[in-house]
Chains A and B, each alone.
Chain A
Amino acid sequence: MATHAPMPGQQIPHGSGGGHTHHTDYRSIRHWWIRAAWCSAGGVLFGLLLPFFLRWVFGLDPLWNEQVYVTTTSIFSVIGFLIGIGCFDWWGRWMVGKHVDYEDHSFHGASSWRDYLRVNTDHKVIGVQYLVIVFSFMVISGLLAELVRTELARPGSQITSGEGYNTLFSGHAALMIFLVIIPSFAGLANYILPIMIGAKDMAFPKLNALSVWMLPPAGLMILMGIILGGYSSGWTAYTPLATQAGTGTTLFEVGVQFAGASSIMTAVNFLVTIITMRAPGMTVWRMPLLVWANATTSALVVFGTPFIAGSQFMTLFDRVMGTHFFDWTAGGDVVSYQHIFWFYSHPAVYIMMLPGFGIISEVLATFSRKPIFGYRAVAFSTVAIAVLGFGVWAHHMFVSGMSPWLRIPMMVTTVIIAIPTGVKVFSWVATLWRGKIHLNTPMLWALGFLFTFVIGGLSGVFLGTLPADIFVSDTYYIVAHIHYVLFGGSVFTVFAGVYYWFPKMTGRMYNEKLGKWHFWLTFVGFNATFLPMHWLGLQGMPRRVADYDPRFANLNLIISLASILMVAGTAVFFYNAITSWRSGPKAPWNPWRGRTLEWLVSSPPSIFNFDATPQVVGGPYQYGVAGARHAIVFAPEEIGGGELTETTHPTILVVAKDTVTGKSLLDATRELGTHGLWRFTFVSPADTDAEKQALVRRHALAAAVLDKAGIQASGKVVTGDIVQAIARAAQDEHAHEIMVATYPLGESQWLRQDLVDRIRKATGLPVSHVTVSHKEARATLDAPGLAHVMVLAHDAVGGGALLDEIRRRADRSPARFTLVHPADLPSPAWGDESNALRGDAVERVHQAIEELQQSGVAIQGEVVDGGIVAAARETVGAYRPDEILVVTTAGQDLNALRDVARGAIIDEVVLGAGATS
C-alpha cells in the first residue's frame, strides 16, 4: 500500500495544485473589528440622516416617524458592518477600477483561532463560523423555550404577561428557524460538500464569506426585536397583527431579509459549485446523497425564499410607508399575506429537512456497512419532495378563510408528499436490514431521527387531511407535530452530522460516552416533552396563549420538567464539543471507514483540500462490495504524486485460536483490509508452551497470507483469563474493533462460554463474529504467493526427528507443506501384503500430519506407490511445489530428483541413525 501521507509538521507547498499564491493577510483582527464598529456607527448615522433629509425635502409631516428611522438605521448599520468587516473590500476595488488579483488568497485559510474572527474565504473556515454562530443562537433560543415552559409550568401567570409570552415564543421560533436550523445545514454543507465533490473551494468564495457574515447581524436584529418588545406576532408574522405590532416587528422583518439574502446567496453558490466543480469522474449518479439533497434544497431556496422576502417587504411597506397590501378597507387582501408567506414557508420546511435526509443517508450507510438501498430512488424522491413542496402551501390555511375550493386539491397534494418521503424511510430501513450496525453516536442520532421523524411525518399526514386539521388547528397538536419534524427531524440530523464530521472538522475525536449521554438525555427528554402535547392538543389546549385551563395542569408540569432533560443534554454536548476540540484524541483520516471523498483526505483537510485533483471511479456507498472504490486521491508531485493514503492504520483485533488460518476468517480480514485502512492483530490465548509455539506459527502464516494482499498484520499470544487478556491486548494495541472467530455454534467451546458478549462488555468496542468450520480450519491453506514445500520422506516417516525438521523449516519462513511418503511396495501392488503395508504407511502419515497440525504447521500428506524418484515425478506435477525437502536416514542421490523437480529448490536432510525409532 502506497503511503505518501505527509508526516505531521511536514509542509506541502501549495503552489503545486495550480499556481495559488498564499500570503496570509497581516492585519490583526482588531483592525477589522474597529473598522466594523466605525462603519456600523456610520451606517446608523446615515440611516438617521437619509430619511430626515428626504422627509424634509418632500415636506413630509411629521419629520419623526419611529418605524421609518428604525428601518433605515437597522438596514444601514448592517450594511456598514459588512463593509467595515471587509466583505466588500475586493469587490470595492473592482468597482472603482483598481487592480485586483483573481488568484488572491490572502483571506483564505486559518492558522489560529483569530482567523475565524475575520472575513475568510476558505469554505472550511466558513463552515465552522456557520456552526459556531448557529450553536450560539441555539443556546439563546433554547433558553427562550425554557422561559416559555416556565411560564406554562402552572396555569395562570408565572413570569411574564401575555404580550411578553408572545414575544418569547415568537423569538424562540424565529431564531430556531432562521438562525439555527436553516444555516446549520448551510454550515455543515459548506464544510463537507466541496470536499465531497472533490473541489478545492466553493465557486464564489467571497460571496460565501458575505453570506456567513450577514447572519450574526440578522440574528442580532431579531434578538433586539425580542428585547425591545413588540415582536409578538409569532414567527409567521401574520397581518394584520404584524402591521399593528410594535417596533420589534420592524426589526424582525429587516433581520429576516438579511437571513433570507444570506440563504439565497449560499444556495446560488452551492448550485454553481455542484454544477461546475465536480472532480473528474463525479457523475451525477456518483454524487453522495448529501450533495443531491443540497442541490435540491438550494433550488428550493432560490425559488422559494424570494416569496418570504416579498411578504416581509409588503408588511414593512404597510408599516412604514402606509401602503395597503393587507388593508381590506383600501382594497388590499389580508389573506394574501398568508398565501405569499406560505408559498415560501411550506417549501421552507423541506429546506429545513432535505439536507438532513442527506446526512442521514450518509450516516446510515456508513454505520451499517451497506450500500444505501435504492440510491436512485432516494435521489429522485428528494427531487420529488422539492417539486411537490411548491404545491401544498395552503394546507396551513384551511381555517384562514381562503377560497374554499383550494382546500381539497391542497389536501390531496399534501398527502401525496408522504409517498416520496415514505420511499426514503423504507430505503433507510432496508439499508439497516442485515447490515453490520455500529452504534456510534452519529448512528444513534440517525436511528433516533428515524423513530421521531416517522411519528412527526405521520402526524403531518393526519394534519394534512382537512377534517382532522380543522379539529386541531391552533392547538398543541400543531406544536407537537412541528417539534417532531423540526427537532426530532431536523435537529437530530444536525447532531448526527456534527458528530459524524466532528473528527474531520476538528481533527479530534469526540468523547463517545458523552456523545451517548447527550443522545439519550435529549431523546428521552424530547419524547417526554413533545409526546404529551399530542394529547393536550386533542383535548383542545390552544397554542400561543400564556394561560390555560387548570385541567391541563399536570401534563404541562410534566412537560416543563422533561424539557430540562434536553437542557442537560445540550450542556453535555457543549462540554463534549469544547473539551474534545481542545484536547480530544487525534482523529485518523477515516475513523468511520467512510467511502466518500472527505474521508480520503487528512483530518482536518489541508488548506485547498486536495493537492492534486482526485479521480472518482465509482459510486459512493459500495460498502462490502469486493474491489469497489469511490475515488482516488493523489499526493502532490513534490512527494511522489502517488496515491495518497493514511499512514497510521487503526487496528482490528482478531481473536482466534485454531481457526487463525481458517479461510472464512482470512477472507473476512482480507476484504476489510483492502477497503478500509486497517491493520490486524491476531490475539490467541494459550495455556502450554507447545500451544504457544503452534499459535506463533499460525500467526506467521496468517500474516504472510495477508501481506500478499498488502495488509499489515501481526500476532500476539496471551495467557491467563481469556476475556481479561483480550481487554488488555485491546488497550495495548489501541484497537478500534474486535473480530472473534470461533467454530460453529454447538462445536465451539468459546461460544459456550459466551465469549463474544463478554469481550464486548469488557472492551466496549464493536465486536463482530466469524464462524470457521472444523474442516476449514484444517484444510490446506491455498493462498496465492505462499511458499509451498513438498517433503519427501521415505524411511524417516514415523519418527519425531522428521517432525522437528519440518517444524524447523516452518519456523524459518511461513510456508505450507505437503508430506509425500513413497511406499516401496512388493509386487503386485494390489496384493494383501502391499495393502497391509500401504495401510501402515497411511497410518504413519496420518499421525505425523495430526501432530504437525497440532503444532501449527499447515500440512497435508499422501502415500505414493513407488520409489522416491517415481513418487516425486508423480507428485511434483500435481502440486508444483516451490521447494522440495528430502528427508532420509541414509542419504539420497539428488541428481535423479533434479530431473523431475521442475525448477523447485531441492534440500536434503539426512537424519542420524535411530531417528525412526
Chain B
Amino acid sequence: MTTHAHDTKPATHGGSGMSRMNIGALGMSIFIGSEIMLFASFFTAYFIARSNAVQWPPVFEGSTAFEVPKVITGVNTAILVFSSFTVWWAEKRLAAGDRKGLIRGLTVTMMLGATFLIIQINEYVHLGFTPQDKIFGTVFYCLTGLHGAHVFVGLNALGFSLNRAKRGEFSHGNCGPLTAASIYWHFVDVVWVFLYVVVYLV
C-alpha cells in the first residue's frame, strides 16, 4: 500500500499555483458581477418607472419637463473614459518596470476621477430638482448617486494602491491590489457610459 507514495508527491505545495495577483483579480471580477446586479436592480426600478410614465422625462413644474445637462455631462463622460486609459497606461508602465510612470499614471487617473466627481456634484447643485421630486428625481439621483459612491470607492482604492506604489511595492506579476483597483475603475467607467446613454441621452 505504500508503493506509490513518493513518486506522485508534488515537489511544491499550494494547489494549482495561481499567484496572488490572479486570485485578487479573479475575486474582484466576480464581485463586479455582484455590482452589475446592484446597478441592474436600480435600472429595473428606472425602466419600470419609465415604462409606466405617460411622457419621459415627466413634467416637473407647470408644463416644463425635467431637464438634465447633456453636453456638460458628455464632457464629464469623456473625462471618466479618458481616466480608464490612463490607469491602463499606468499598469503598462509597471509591466515595463517604470515605477515613476506607474505613479504618474495613477495620479493623473485620480485627478481625472476627482474632476468627474466635482463636476457631478456641481451638476447636482444647479439641477433645480431634488430626489424628492417625483419618480424622475428619485431614479436620477439614486442612479447617479450610486455611481458617484462607486467612483468615490474606486478613488480610494486607487489612492491606497498609489500609496503602496510610492513605497516601492508592486512589480509585474505581483500587483494584486493594483489590478483589482484598476478592474474596479474600468467597471465604474463602463457603467457610467451605459448610465449616461440611458438616463441622459435616450
Q: Are B31 and A332 in contact (CB under 8 A)?
A: no
- Is A731 at the interface (CB under 8 A from chain B)? no
User: Which residues of A291-323 are within 8 A (CB) of B?
Assistant: 302-307, 309-311, 313-314, 317, 321-323
Contact of B34 among A305, A323, A615 (CB under 8 A): A305
User: Which residues of A309-359 are within 8 A (CB) of B?
Assistant: 309-311, 313-314, 317, 321-325, 327, 330-333, 336, 339-340, 343
Q: Are A632 and B35 in contact (CB under 8 A)?
A: no
Q: Are A280 and B16 in contact (CB under 8 A)?
A: yes
Q: Are A331 and B53 in contact (CB under 8 A)?
A: yes
Cβ proximity bits A609-626 to B, threshold 8 Å, 1 near / 0 not: 000110101000000000
Q: Are A325 and B23 in contact (CB under 8 A)?
A: no
User: Which residues of A840-894 are within 8 A (CB) of B?
Assistant: none
- Is B160 at the interface (CB under 8 A from chain A)? yes
Q: How far is the CA of A277 from the CA of B177 in the complex (A)?
A: 19
Output the nearest chain A residue to B56 by Cβ-Cβ distance: A331
| Min distance, Cβ A50 to any Cβ of chain B, angstroms | 15
- Is A113 at the interface (CB under 8 A from chain B)? no
Q: Are B138 and A306 in contact (CB under 8 A)?
A: no
Q: How far is the CA of A276 from the CA of B33 in the complex (A)?
A: 18
Cβ proximity bits B22-34 to A, threshold 8 Å, 1 near / 0 not: 1100110011011
Contact of B26 among A1, A264, A272 (CB under 8 A): A272
Question: Given contacts A97-B164, A332-B138, is CB(A306)–CB(B41) below 8 Å?
Answer: yes
Q: Are A278 and B15 in contact (CB under 8 A)?
A: yes
- Is B38 at the interface (CB under 8 A from chain A)? yes
- Is A592 at the interface (CB under 8 A from chain B)? no
- Is B71 at the interface (CB under 8 A from chain A)? no
B-side contacts of A280, CB under 8 Å: 10, 15-16
Contact of A272 among B27, B45, B164 (CB under 8 A): B27
B-side contacts of A302, CB under 8 Å: 30-31, 33-34, 37
Contact of B135 among A17, A303, A330 (CB under 8 A): A330
- Is A793 at the interface (CB under 8 A from chain B)? no
| Min distance, Cβ B169 to any Cβ of chain A, angstroms | 9
- Is A448 at the interface (CB under 8 A from chain B)? no
Output the nearest chain B residue to A96 by Cβ-Cβ distance: B163
Output the nearest chain B residue to A642 by Cβ-Cβ distance: B5
Q: How far is the CA of A309 from the CA of B23 in the complex (A)?
A: 26
Q: How far is the CA of A277 from the CA of B26 in the complex (A)?
A: 12
- Is B63 at the interface (CB under 8 A from chain A)? no
Q: Are A340 and B41 in contact (CB under 8 A)?
A: yes
Q: Are A306 and B37 in contact (CB under 8 A)?
A: yes
Q: Are B135 and A336 in contact (CB under 8 A)?
A: no
Q: Are B37 and A303 in contact (CB under 8 A)?
A: yes
Contact of A612 among B1, B13, B137, B167 (CB under 8 A): B13
- Is B78 at the interface (CB under 8 A from chain A)? no
B-side contacts of A96, CB under 8 Å: 163
B-side contacts of A309, CB under 8 Å: 38, 41
- Is B185 at the interface (CB under 8 A from chain A)? no
Output the nearest chain B residue to A645 by Cβ-Cβ distance: B1
B-side contacts of A269, CB under 8 Å: 27
Question: Given contacts A268-B34, A333-B48, is CB(A321)–CB(B131) below 8 Å?
Answer: yes
Q: Are A268 and B167 in contact (CB under 8 A)?
A: no
- Is A271 at the interface (CB under 8 A from chain B)? yes
- Is B122 at the interface (CB under 8 A from chain A)? no
Interface centre among A96, A327, A331, A333 (most CB of B within 10 A): A331
| Min distance, Cβ A344 to any Cβ of chain B, angstroms | 8
Q: How far is the CA of A96 from the CA of B38 in the complex (A)?
A: 29
Cβ proximity bits B121-152 to A, threshold 8 Å, 1 near / 0 not: 00000000001101111110110000000000
- Is A797 at the interface (CB under 8 A from chain B)? no
A-side contacts of B34, CB under 8 Å: 264, 268, 302-303, 305-306
- Is A2 at the interface (CB under 8 A from chain B)? yes
A-side contacts of B20, CB under 8 Å: 102
Contact of B138 among A1, A18, A324 (CB under 8 A): A324
A-side contacts of B40, CB under 8 Å: 306-307, 310
**Selected A-B contacts with CB under 8 Å, 8 pairs:** A203-B23, A264-B34, A306-B35, A321-B131, A323-B142, A333-B48, A613-B15, A643-B5
For the complex with contacts A203-B27, A307-B40, A324-B134, 5 further pairs of A-B residues with Cβ separation under 8 Å are: A276-B23, A305-B34, A309-B41, A310-B38, A317-B142
